Structure 1
């Protein structure tokens, strides 16, 4: 296929213009594709629930919890690809950006392929560790055995969205996830009901949609933007250093959430399949309702990365402020809507008994804490793109351990299944506030210190090594 002579976005587009506009446009376009996937995921559970077998809905919940681990690895490395491409473009080094894009695809495919092969023999054991038993355990394992081999496909597809977001092309990055979601929406009812395949049909639809997602992503990142040039084999080690320098801490950060969710699932399993089904429904409502916030965390990264690469430090603080304002307004509006429509949402999924109580409780009460989750997402994006990925790891693991385990344990002991959900929600408050405070101090110190080096992973200036310094090495506040 012929390549265009003038690929779009030769220049870094985020180093000029309104940062609020960049935040809003990147978030809006990113959220369309992301929410489309989440809506289709919710439809998947809806179709399965129409079969009238509670074990099938519970199986989807257990499978989603386990798959979240593998997708989180992909998200972490996608953050690295986006950060490196955006920094290189910010410095005006397009050829270097293309080398980072191509190497990212290779590294992500190899790592996720190895993880998939390693986990395959232990799928049934892993499902059992989550608390699944009997027929539910068998159904979950069967679903995963079909879907798991396609993990490298979705991982590389996600990497292409990171490359395009790094170039500022949120529209084409949106097309990747949007077409994958559309493919699933079309295939799900055909395979589940038309061919009578039930849960197996849902699994096959997931695999086929991932093939579509990867194909569209490669077209955008390689054919349109030409940002997938493979480095010389002798230079792969040089390219790998900044990729894994950002990627590994980002992966650890992303793994924190599924670890916390797995603990919640284990505690919820003590109260029966109905409670697990309710938790699964909540897990589908969250990304549909708050997918814009998830998209924001991916949108703010390239904006920060390009301005960091261009040394426009004055715009870092402005972008962070605008992102936080966006989070506050959006979360308050969505929380109000969820509270108003709590019962219709429960009706939509046919939730009854304990499952219905979970859905209504989330919509009326727990959803409000996403204001603090959103703050944590924005702070994490800043840490990952500004040379402090370890802070992102620490805050996210803190939220998923100290911010979940004690709260959920106490909630389960005194308030049952609803206490588990309430405990999960409350832990976000402290860590969301703390992460934003540290993130703004990091940005302030970068702006008040000497420019960083020209390396792909520029070390913070000596005075900015700690976000708690004031810019003077001898002063600690």
Structure 2
């Protein structure tokens, strides 16, 4: 690592940080586009696995894998929360032209993220009977989900390390290599899933094993890019790790609290659907896999604008921070509208691809008709939360995410299900997101104006 050319180190100091110059819209589009490609690769792992499982024509298997992925969504959401301080701290140091600090923080934060991810798996595994039972898992679906998670959860630490390295690459403005690292996950899945699920007859357990192997590839590729192209990792220094822990967790804890709102709400929603039987659970599982792939651009946008905002905050370019947020909203309108139209047009082929029985197909197709209404307002919360997390207001992110996931979802989904069944529950989710989405965006612009006023007073 130390033998890398010193040019990289000098360039990082002498050149202007990438995001403080040039078109903010271009930065938003490039970072979001490459991040979306990487995220789609990760989300396709779940989608393809569930698709293959559905071809076994056993609703209990589909329901079991769906329940397992809800639990895994919880662990990944914690990982995403742990990514946020890495992106914020490293990009801010690079924006302020402190490459040595950026290198130290990248190393310390990656190690801290791995430690937390390992602890999360150790806590969840013995609690699986309680968790799955609370979600409505029964009989064969319960056994499938439990076995799947005992195979896949122990490698959550590898997923965390890969995500940490990808975040550092994005913080340095290298969205392309971050994307390539994520694409390695999809490449492994496409090759191994059919071999393990069908060829070796491992069914759901084969899909879980594929996830583990894909995570190993993710870490390996991301590590090579980070060390060879950027020299942004240093030998671990336990004194530095202890010193950086406070900055890391001051952002990570509220970010994690923010992010786990969604999987907890998803688990509640799965419980609501469970009262309508395995076909409704299977429909919810299909929706949960189709949604991230379809709206990966929104997930990517939330992570992509963080480094842009962070570097410009470090450079005190508040005008560019405001414009970045405006550009993100323009992208959201165009992207969600486009995906809504696409899902509406392919709603029948989607349900057919999963061999969905009539009741399952009806729910999935209804979601496709309603998806844009639901996800436009959810996307507004995502964009605002990215601003809060990267600009020193993580508690606001926690407030809006939990507000949407509790007051904005639970009563609406519950009473919607009582009135209109599974379709009513879906409609309730969309209705409950409207107020929180609008309020979150207004507050995001207010926080930037406040930071600008504080900077003026300091001068």
Q: 2:364 is paired with a residue of what secondary structure?
A: helix
Q: 2:260 is paired with a residue of what secondary structure?
A: helix
Say which is worse superposed, 225-234 or 397-406, in terms of deviation.
225-234
Q: Deviations over 1:353-373 (max 9, x none)?
A: 221111111111233221111
Instruction: Give the corresponding residue for 2:51.
Output: 46
| 1:6 Cα deviation from its structure 2 partner | 3.0
CA distance in 2, matches of 1:154, 1:330: 28
Q: 1:168 is paired with a residue of what secondary structure?
A: coil
Instruction: Give the corresponding residue for 1:256.
Output: 261
1:20 aligned to 25, 31, 36, which one? 25
Q: TM-score, normalised by structure 2?
A: 0.96
1:314 aligned to 303, 312, 319, which one? 319
Give structure 2 stretches of 5+ with no counterpart: none
Q: 2:455 is paired with a residue of what secondary structure?
A: coil
**2:120 equivalent to 1:119:** no
Q: Where do residues 185-264 of structure 1 align in structure 2 (5 Å cutoff)?
A: 185-230=190-235, 232-264=237-269
Contact kept? 2:309, 2:321, Cα under 8 Å: yes
Contact kept? 2:57, 2:355, Cα under 8 Å: no
CA distance in 2, matches of 1:173, 1:326: 21
Instruction: Give the corresponding residue for 2:386.
Output: 381
- Rate the CA distance shift 1:18–1:128 in 2: closer, same or farther, 3 A: same
2:409 aligned to 404, 410, 414, which one? 404
Q: 1:222 is paired with a residue of what secondary structure?
A: helix
Instruction: Give the corresponding residue for 2:107.
Output: 102
Contact kept? 2:45, 2:185, Cα under 8 Å: no
1:90 aligned to 85, 89, 95, which one? 95
Contact kept? 2:93, 2:101, Cα under 8 Å: yes
CA distance in 1, matches of 2:369, 2:239: 57
Contact kept? 2:77, 2:260, Cα under 8 Å: yes
Contact kept? 1:314, 1:447, Cα under 8 Å: no
**2:163 equivalent to 1:162:** no
Say which is worse superposed, 212-221 or 234-243, in terms of deviation.
234-243
**2:440 equivalent to 1:439:** no
Contact kept? 1:366, 1:421, Cα under 8 Å: no
Q: Where do residues 414-453 of structure 1 align in structure 2 (5 Å cutoff)?
A: 414-450=419-455
CA distance in 2, matches of 1:260, 1:435: 19
| 1:237 Cα deviation from its structure 2 partner | 2.8
CA distance in 1, matches of 2:432, 2:173: 34
Instruction: Give the corresponding residue for 1:457.
Output: none
Q: Deviations over 1:399-427 (max 9, x none)?
A: 10001111011111111111122212222
Instruction: Give the corresponding residue for 2:4.
Output: 3
Q: Where do residues 269-280 of structure 1 align in structure 2 (5 Å cutoff)?
A: 269-280=274-285
CA distance in 2, matches of 1:324, 1:402: 24
**2:349 equivalent to 1:344:** yes
Instruction: Give the corresponding residue for 2:134.
Output: 129
Say which is worse superposed, 193-202 or 91-100, in terms of deviation.
193-202
Instruction: Give the corresponding residue for 2:302.
Output: 297
| 1:442 Cα deviation from its structure 2 partner | 0.9
CA distance in 1, matches of 2:419, 2:191: 44
Q: 2:19 is paired with a residue of what secondary structure?
A: coil
| 1:37 Cα deviation from its structure 2 partner | 2.1
CA distance in 2, matches of 1:372, 1:301: 20
1:70 aligned to 44, 65, 75, which one? 75
CA distance in 2, matches of 1:334, 1:14: 28
1:265 aligned to 264, 270, 290, which one? 270
| 1:43 Cα deviation from its structure 2 partner | 1.3
Contact kept? 2:417, 2:425, Cα under 8 Å: yes
Aligned alpha-carbon RMSD (Å): 1.6
| 1:5 Cα deviation from its structure 2 partner | 3.7
CA distance in 2, matches of 1:7, 1:208: 32
Structure (1/2) with the larger helix percentage: 2
- Rate the CA distance shift 1:394–1:452 in 2: closer, same or farther, 3 A: farther
| 1:444 Cα deviation from its structure 2 partner | 1.7
CA distance in 1, matches of 2:404, 2:89: 27
CA distance in 2, matches of 1:452, 1:70: 42
Instruction: Give the corresponding residue for 2:145.
Output: 140
Q: 2:338 is paired with a residue of what secondary structure?
A: helix
CA distance in 1, matches of 2:5, 2:292: 36
Instruction: Give the corresponding residue for 1:150.
Output: 155
Q: TM-score, normalised by structure 1?
A: 0.92
